[in-house]
A and B are shown apart, each in its own frame.
Chain A
Amino acid sequence: MQLLRDILDKQVVDREQVKIGKVDGLVAELRQGKPPRVVAIELGSVALGRRLGAAPGRWAARLAARLSGKRQARPHRIAWNKVRDIGVDIEFDIDVRRTKVFAWQDWLRQHVVGRIPGA
């Protein structure tokens, strides 16, 4: 399997085919004497920022931290063992509502979209 061509940047969907985002990052565990093991994928603006370079990475992290009120923003991670199907999209056996991935969309729903009538 070719990780950069077939996994990175591909569309991620959850159990109910809800579009969660794209594979913005790919995390592997370095083990002594054994090949690196893919452990998780990363999603979100912080992961994307880091891919553009060190400086954009810091800005994205700082912005995300301020927006989400957390002290230090880290990209969302989904464990690789939850992957179900790797096709043109990559399906994970999770329910996005129980993850933090949609936190920003929920925030927007409550504070902005919800306020506009007829949303």
Chain B
Amino acid sequence: MSKTGIIPFGPQHPVLPEPIHLKLVVEDERVMEVYPAIGFVHRGLEMLAAKKDINQMIYVVERICGICSMMHGMTYCQALEELMGLDIPPRAKFLRVIWAELHRIHSHLLWLGLFADSFGFENLFMQSWKIRERIMDMLERTAGNRVIISVNIIGGVRRDMDDSTLRWILQEISGVEKDLSGLKDMVLNNYTVKKRTVGKGVLSKDEALRLGAVGPVARGSGIARDLRATGYAAYGELDFEPVVEKEGDCFSRSVVRIREIYQSIDLIRQAVSKMPSGEISVKVKGNPPVGEVISVVEQSRGEVFYYIKTSGTQYLERLRVRTPTFANIPALLKMLPGCELADVPVLILTIDPCISCTER
């Protein structure tokens, strides 16, 4: 007789914000094997590229995911801009940076809340989402929508921020920074949180490389890789260092994300102070030429990869999106076997999964 039970995890499950299914083979509290099943969010929107023209597709790719939507739009637009040889105005680049970094902050805070929830720290969830609401307000004021902000167009951005708005952003962001200190304390200096995260789900640098981990997961394992360093948008003109932690466990990944929030705050400040004036978009004429292009952007969860093949018409021949979570799932599958059942949500959340991105 085997004493191993099989426990389903998902698709409808309160700790999983999104539906995936894991079949956990457990003995006592220990997870022996994991069989994943995905596809509950798969819509098949890559195929829409054949039905919607390139401008309409912006709004489709933004809806790949509501958390990182702006950066999806940005990646898509950057790809087409590259293909069409457009040089977008510098102000648009800086605005993109601000929105992208706001998105990163909101995404990390959102993750922190869910992560806290995964180990039963309700207050932390509430606190981080409370702070996150300030970011949402900023997004709503600047872009008109809380979540899917739809600011990118091919050739620039749709909305401008006037000086008073920028000042308001600086002021708000300082408020966020102040609020964050208590939150940071709750994650980094809390004995119980440490006990739940330190040494859990260790991913060594080598493994991270081989499994193709990206973003905070890779950076938490000591891989100093942040695509923003390649200088797309206005990142080339801003000053920053990729955040790296060495241990490769859940705790160091959390530290990476929390430090990245501060980094983003800093980047926003820089961007606001260096904000050039001028146009926010260029006029785009005609259809894109035939060609293939790859565009990568550092999303909040890591590198997102767009492959676009054009056909010379206003429709794309092929659009392919490889999202960071897609790249991080193998790492998750490596972490899970051997962990405790109670750690399963913690490990899942530690890669900050975004299934709607993954399955599109």
Q: Do A and B bind each other?
A: no
Residues of B within 8 A of A (CB): none
Q: Which residues of A contact B (CB under 8 A)?
A: none
